[in-house]
Amino acid sequence: MATTSKSILIKNYINGSFQNPTSNQWIDNINPSNGEVYGQIPNSNKIDVEQAYLAAKSSFPKWSQTSLEQRSKILLAIADLLESNLDLFAKAESKDNGKPLELAKTIDIPRAASNFRFFANAITQFASESHESVGHSAINYTLRQAIGVVGCISPWNLPLYLFTWKIAPAIAAGNCVVAKPSEVTPITAYLLGKICNDAGLPKGVLNIVHGLGNTTGQAIIEHPNIKAISFTGGTKTGAHIAKIAAPMFKKLSLELGGKNPNIIFADCDYEAMLNSTIRSSFANQGQICLCGSRIFVEASIYNTFKNDFIARVKQLKVGHPSEKDTNIGALVSKPHLKNVMQYIDSAKKDHNATILCGGKQVVIKNYENGYYLEPTVIEVNTNQCKINQEEIFGPVVSIMPFNNEDEVLQMANDTPYGLSATLWTNNLQRTMRFTNELQAGIVWVNTWLMRDLRTPFGGVKHSGVGREGGFEALRFFTETKNVCIKY
Ligand code: NDP
């Protein structure tokens, strides 16, 4: 298998083979830890997407007719191969994205393998309903049939993790796929193609086309015969996709942005809360859609929390992703760093906000052109400020005190987003009230990012439409047909 130590020419994976883009146009792939170009990726166009579609089409319905055991066996083989190539994949992911190598090793790649293993097993347990029409001598049964060719489009923050979160259920359900990873982080998707071949995935079942969102991605969403789109990314892009796909009546799953509240009551388990809040604020440089970027703290412990939190944040090491003691690696790209820093600047100009720590770019010896930023904590005194209303998607959190349940519940729900929420309390009545009333697709109580792959995942309001995870994903990737037989 190819190593990632030298310049890499990434190719499209179409019909089981690796191809140059038909236009022979390429995009630079940049290493965020040092700002250097270390490879090139195809700048694919409509023709490449059409080729990928035709390859997918030629494998359907054959793939959907393979036995569940056979499909499951291949998906398990992909999971095993990902695990046995853990180091290669983790290094590639860390280099492409800027995330600490340890994180890629312990979270991203293991989770990508788990995605395949989970859906390899789930498909063998997926069942449909039957309804006997008693008194009418009829029986209804429901078929859940593969859709055909589907499109999967994923972002850069958890590249292989989120790419496989879509591809695995799509393939398990019998579909053939045209997929596009983010152009910013293409490498592990490229390596996945090789693994799929080694695992015996038939040609054309998975096709990976690299390129820009507004050309390659656009060609996928506009394609009249790609019948469903599973998308994870920004809310603006999600709205654009919905506009294009809706008149063609495509099935749509949209996992979009978040501006998640982290609500801390004085009666919580303080140490556990503090440890998790450090993670929920800054894991993956704060570039996780589920990060708790708005921290609300009960007034009676606000000052204690503020001092302890800042002391802990100051201990976080911003460093090169490959170093073992690095807590915060590089942000994914120069434009993204600039964008995040603009938010920090806007907070400085806002009279309601105070930068309590961080806020500056970090220059690391030997990696002076990397995209490093200090973890930043901003004190705000209203939820109605830019910092609390817009998704920053970087190592930046806000903190502010609250006085009572009604006040914090109102503020927690007062954004356009509704992806996740975290609640820290040991009060049962309060837990029940908040879990009912928080406007979010996922609520964590006394924990954060604890994931069980069987559970539904997704957001409300501007955080998305539809649910991924478990059987929800298999339902999305199948078309439901009811059959009624009179006897
Ligand atoms: P974008 O919306 O910019 O991009 C996501 C993907 O869509 C990329 O592959 C992108 O390609 C592609 N794309 C862009 N424009 C189009 C288009 N016109 N047609 C089809 N595809 C297109 O998001 P980011 O990559 O910047 O990711 C960050 C965002 O993702 C954040 O808002 C974050 O909250 C969200 N996210 C949501 C999650 C969830 O589960 N709810 C999980 C993780 C992230 P390209 O990169 O080449 O432009």
Question: What is the model's pLDDT at position 92?
Answer: 98
Q: What is the rounded CA–CA span in Å between residue 411 and residue 401?
A: 11
Q: What is the rounded CA–CA span in Å between residue 452 and residue 260?
A: 20
Judged against a pLDDT cut of 90, whether residue 319 lies above it is answered with yes
Question: What is the model's pLDDT at position 348?
Answer: 87
Judged against a pLDDT cut of 50, whether residue 3 lies above it is answered with no
Residue 443 burial (CB count, 10 A): 19
Report the pocket of ligand 1 as residue ranges, CB < 6 Å: 153-157, 162, 180, 182-184, 212-214, 217-218, 221, 232-234, 237, 240-241, 255-258, 289, 391, 393, 419, 459, 464
**Which tens digit of pLDDT belongs to each residue from 285-309?**
999 999 999 999 999 999 999 999 9
pLDDT class for 6, splitting at 50, 70, 90? Answer: low
Question: What is the model's pLDDT at position 330?
Answer: 98
Measured by CA distance, the residue closest to atom 8 of ligand 1 is 182
Q: What is the rounded CA–CA span in Å between residue 438 and residue 294?
A: 14
Task: Please identify, by atom number, the ligand 1 atom nearest to the C-alpha of residue 182.
Answer: 9
**What is the percent of the chain where pLDDT is above 90?**
98
Question: What is the model's pLDDT at position 2?
Answer: 39
Sheet of strand 376-380: strand arrangement = 353-357, 376-380, 396-402, 294-298, 261-264, 420-424, 442-445
Q: Which residues contact 377 (CB under 8 A, 6 or more apart)?
A: 281, 309, 310, 313, 355, 356, 357, 358, 397, 398, 399
**Which of residues 4 and 193 earns the better pLDDT score?**
193
Q: How far is the CA of 123 from the centre of ligand 1 (A)?
A: 28
| Cα distances (angstroms) measured from residue 477 to each of 149, 223, 469 | 10, 17, 11
Residue 286's closest CA among 418, 374, 385? 374
Please report the sign of the dihedral spanned by the C-alpha atoms of residue 239, residue 240, residue 241, residue 247: positive
| Cα distances (angstroms) measured from residue 376 to each of 304, 390, 395, 473 | 18, 16, 6, 36
**Which tens digit of pLDDT belongs to each residue from 192-250?**
999 999 999 999 999 999 999 999 999 999 999 999 999 999 999 999 999 999 999 99
Give the domains, in start order, of the chain with CATH numbers: 8-256+463-486 (3.40.605.10), 261-452 (3.40.309.10)
Judged against a pLDDT cut of 70, whether residue 426 lies above it is answered with yes
**Which tens digit of pLDDT belongs to each residue from 369-394?**
999 999 999 999 999 999 999 999 99
Measured by CA distance, the residue closest to atom 48 of ligand 1 is 213
CA R_g for the chain: 23
**Which tens digit of pLDDT belongs to each residue from 126-155?**
999 999 999 999 999 999 999 999 999 999
pLDDT class for 416, splitting at 50, 70, 90? Answer: very high
Choose the residue to mutate in 97, 221, 289 for probing ligand 1, maximizing ligand atoms within 8 Å of C-beta.
289
| Cα distances (angstroms) measured from residue 373 to each of 185, 281, 337, 360 | 19, 14, 8, 6
pLDDT class for 1, splitting at 50, 70, 90? Answer: very low
Arithmetic mean of pLDDT, 265-280: 98
Mean per-residue pLDDT of the chain: 97
Q: How far is the CA of 156 from the centre of ligand 1 (A)?
A: 7
**Which tens digit of pLDDT belongs to each residue from 335-373?**
999 999 999 999 988 878 999 999 999 999 999 999 999
Q: How far is the CA of 185 from the centre of ligand 1 (A)?
A: 11
Q: Which residues contact 456 (CB under 8 A, 6 or more apart)?
A: 441, 467, 468, 469, 470, 472
Choose the residue to mutate in 43, 182, 420, 442 for probing ligand 1, maximizing ligand atoms within 8 Å of C-beta.
182
**Residue 189 three-state SS:** helix
Task: Please identify, by atom number, the ligand 1 atom nearest to the C-alpha of residue 158.
Answer: 43
DSSP H/E element including 257: none
pLDDT class for 4, splitting at 50, 70, 90? Answer: very low
Q: What is the rounded CA–CA span in Å between residue 177 and residue 198?
A: 18
Task: Please identify, by atom number, the ligand 1 atom nearest to the C-alpha of residue 258.
Answer: 34
Q: How far is the CA of 287 from the centre of ligand 1 (A)?
A: 12
